Amino acid sequence: MTVASRKIRLLMELRAGGVIDTRVLSAIELTPREQFVEQNFLDQAYDNNALPIGCGQTISQPLVVGLMTQALQLGDRMKVLEIGTGSGYQTAILAKLARRVYTIERHRPLLKQAEARFLELRLHNITSLCADGFKGWPEQAPFDRIILTAAPFDVPKTLLDQLDVGGILVAPLGDENGEQHLVKYTRTEQDFEIESLFGVRFVPLLPGVPDAK
């Protein structure tokens, strides 16, 4: 099966799974997932599965990427904060849908690889930082949208504070039973509207920055 036919099959799976936003589907179609997976998994680049990428992290299942991106309700003038760059795949999709993407990764080796991919794909509206995602990026706040690609037990208040009024934050949240749900926060003038979307499985969101160079 050719790359093109695999990609078509994947897009059909995403539509069947609930990704119906045409802008999101187009961004996924235009993002070469094979450039974000490890060499050993190239043959699975367009399978609807999560794959390991090093540092104990994964590149998310395409269906989850599509549904999370769709939940953000992105506009092309928006400024987005991503916590957990990972391979850079989700970042690249966000970059096709928003004006500016600020992305934070705690693992420096992963971030260096992702930055090289952004350069190769000429994605010039991404600004990246190796830092503790729990702290967000206060110098660039407020953000129209925030997305977490790793699961805390609660969304850090620092991140909620960096969300603009009317903004949306999407995050996987874990509980004491080991279950995780994707949760959508919408900031109002007074508070937050919170909606639980569906069950997910993400690596945990951890504080700090590892010492690896």
Catalytically annotated residue among 60, 87, 128, 196: 60
d(CA 117, CA 38): 13
60 is catalytic: yes
Strand order from edge to edge, sheet including 79-83: 126-130, 100-105, 79-83, 143-148, 163-174, 180-187, 192-199
Distance CA 22, CA 106 (A): 32
User: Long-range CB contacts (< 8 A, 24+ apart) of 182-189?
Assistant: 182/64, 182/67, 182/68, 182/71, 183/155, 184/71, 185/155, 185/160, 187/160, 187/163, 189/165
Q: Which residues are catalytic?
A: 60
